Structure 1
Amino acid sequence: MVAALELYLDVDTTRRVRTLWRALDDEGIPSLGSLHQKHRPHVSLAAAHRIDPHAVASALDGFPVGRGLTLEFDFVGQFVGRVLWLGVTVTEELLAHHRAVHERLTAGGVEIWDHYRPGRWVPHCTISLRVPNPVMAPAVRRCLEYLPIRATVVGAALADHSQDISHNL
């Protein structure tokens, strides 16, 4: 189980990422879109096995999480475990926003995984959680065909798909 504080992207970016997910699925590469049909394209600011949505809402009350941020997806990356993603170019504005969110979460007693903390976080939009090794190179090439993407953050929510939680912020 994973709960995440997700930033949601504008309509055009969402469409482009979903199109990429479908293209990979059509090539036999499992995408996040086909995992369980609940995901929407996003960038996670924080994640943990479980996060109380009410604690997050309280900690972030009055703070415009992600609103108005512009994100530029300019590269493709891979995490250990065959996770493929579109990388967000880091800006001072994005890092400052991420830090402000985490300061509020910490003050509110919300525990998150260390690799999502300021100084360790890699901003990204997950494309697949399990790309088979023999098709990683073709999957990366397919992702590169969709870049660059300039996106606007239009919303945020605490999502835990295994428990059917989507708490808008």
Structure 2
Amino acid sequence: MYGLIAAFDQTTESFIKNVWKELKEKSISSYAYEVEDRIPHITLASYNQLNRRDFFDQMDETYRYQSVIDVNFKSIGSFLKSGALYYSPTVTKGLYELHSNHHKDFERFQDDPNSLYLPDHWIPHCTIANRLSQEKLQEAFHYCSKRHSALFGKIVKVALIEVTEKHTAPIIYSKKLIE
């Protein structure tokens, strides 16, 4: 399985990694440490199978002139009956266009009509914790909602990751966005 992710600037990435670390230290969630190579991100698309070379070529074409996108997180949320907690970015014109343009340009690669990342199904988010009991979800929500007021950063790269059965998710190709 593959995911196309939007990755953050170093400051934003470090902030989220610190939250992950604190949640682990407080025995609330070890989500971030369950998959080797996990980095904070917003998933833009998912694929079951890919012709990698064609996909890489399309990434080169699509993201050649893509500018860095400001992102801000002013709320946290949870998917119903999931035990997941996430930072919810404000859906700006830039974030919306990044997602919708990706799906237009990569339509030929779409192989999952039930993907949660398709236009009209996508809920942009950066996962903080997952598979939590109701008690731990409440604890994580309380901790994260009191930790800071807002997080402002940038999406500086798009990357294709491969999620493996060995609990790894390495970046196999990426494109830096233009500053």
TM-score range, shorter chain: 0.7 to 0.9
1:74-131 per-position Cα deviation (integer Å, ceiling 9, x unaligned): 111111321111001111221122111000110x333244321112211110111212
* C-alpha contact 1:102 1:118 (8 A) present in aligned 2: yes
2:117 aligned partner, one-letter code: Y
State the SS of the aligned residue for 1:111.
Answer: coil
**Matched residue, 2:71:** 71
1:8 CA drift (Å): 0.8
Residue 159 of structure 1 is aligned with which of 137, 158, 161? 161
* C-alpha contact 1:44 1:124 (8 A) present in aligned 2: yes
Matched, 1:101 2:102: yes
**Matched residue, 1:140:** 141
Change (3 A) 1:32 1:55: farther
State the SS of the aligned residue for 1:38.
Answer: coil
* C-alpha contact 1:14 1:41 (8 A) present in aligned 2: yes
Structure 1: 5+ residue stretches without partners: none
**Matched residue, 1:168:** 174
State the SS of the aligned residue for 2:132.
Answer: coil
1:108-157 per-position Cα deviation (integer Å, ceiling 9, x unaligned): 33324432111221111011121221121120122221341111111111
Separation of aligned partners in 2, 1:8 and 1:159:
11
Stretch deviating more after TM superposition (60-69 or 82-91):
60-69
Q: What pairs with 1:28-67 in structure 2 (closer than 5 Å)?
A: 28-64=27-63, 67=67
Structure 2: 5+ residue stretches without partners: none
TM-score when normalising by structure 2: 0.83
**Matched residue, 2:127:** 126
* C-alpha contact 2:28 2:139 (8 A) present in aligned 1: no
TM-score when normalising by structure 1: 0.87
Separation of aligned partners in 1, 2:136 and 2:160:
32
2:156 aligned partner, one-letter code: V
Change (3 A) 1:134 1:164: closer
Percent identical across equivalent pairs? 22
| Alignment RMSD | 2.1
State the SS of the aligned residue for 2:24.
Answer: helix
Change (3 A) 1:118 1:82: same
Change (3 A) 1:52 1:157: farther
State the SS of the aligned residue for 1:123.
Answer: coil
**Matched residue, 2:115:** 114
Separation of aligned partners in 1, 2:54 and 2:111:
10
State the SS of the aligned residue for 2:27.
Answer: coil
